[in-house]
Amino acid sequence: MAARKNQQRPLGEEGQSILEFCFMLPVMVGLAMILFRVNTTIQMSIVNQQCARAHALFLTFNHSIYPYRNLRLPQLTGKGYNQMVIGVSDNPAVGGYSPAASTFTISKQPGGSEETRKEPERRSNVRVRTTVSICTQPNVIGPNQPILDPSTGLYALSESTKFDLCRSPYL
């Protein structure tokens, strides 16, 4: 059976596809904007990770004694670590340093009063936390047991000493 060329549509259905397109257009544009912002956040995380890795490689390959003793004693031996963790934060490391993770807003800015905007602003921020860890030379044998006593300069090693090679609070 051959199809008729001048087939008429039932009344009331003309323009239905245009109307459906008009309804779906804002949804598709909104979805594309959210995907764009999520992609930007993922790119921020990738760049932060590359930066942290580059700094870690710079520290490990450009020092004859890694890490320096003045960094080892308070930061690694004093805390009982054999692992160095390097991270990326938004604020500079000065004084009483507390790192702040990078944030990116993935939703549009809500309107309204100051009170109604606080909660959605907090929920729409995505924190991008990036760290790179490196196992260093053994600095401690166990918790609060440094290999080299900083006050006497003597080693606390014996033949039965067992090392916890990559000791860290994160493992």
- Model confidence over 127-139: pLDDT tens digits? 888 888 877 777 7
Residues of the domain holding 81? 20-93+101-146
pLDDT per residue as tens digits for the range 26-41: 999 999 998 998 899 8
pTM above 0.85, yes or no: no
* Residue 121 is assigned to a structural domain of this protein: yes
Q: Is residue 30 included in any domain, yes or no?
A: yes
Residue 42 lies in a domain: yes
Parallel, antiparallel, or unpaired: how do β-strands 125-128 and 130-135 relate?
unpaired
Does some domain include residue 14?
Answer: no
Confirm whether 46 is domain-assigned.
yes
Number of domains in the chain: 1
Residue 168 lies in a domain: no
CB 81 within 8 A of CB 71: no
Whether residue 120 is contained in a domain is answered as yes
Other residues' Cβ atoms within 10 Å of the Cβ of residue 138: 18
Residues 6+ apart with CB under 8 A from 36: none
9 in any annotated domain: no
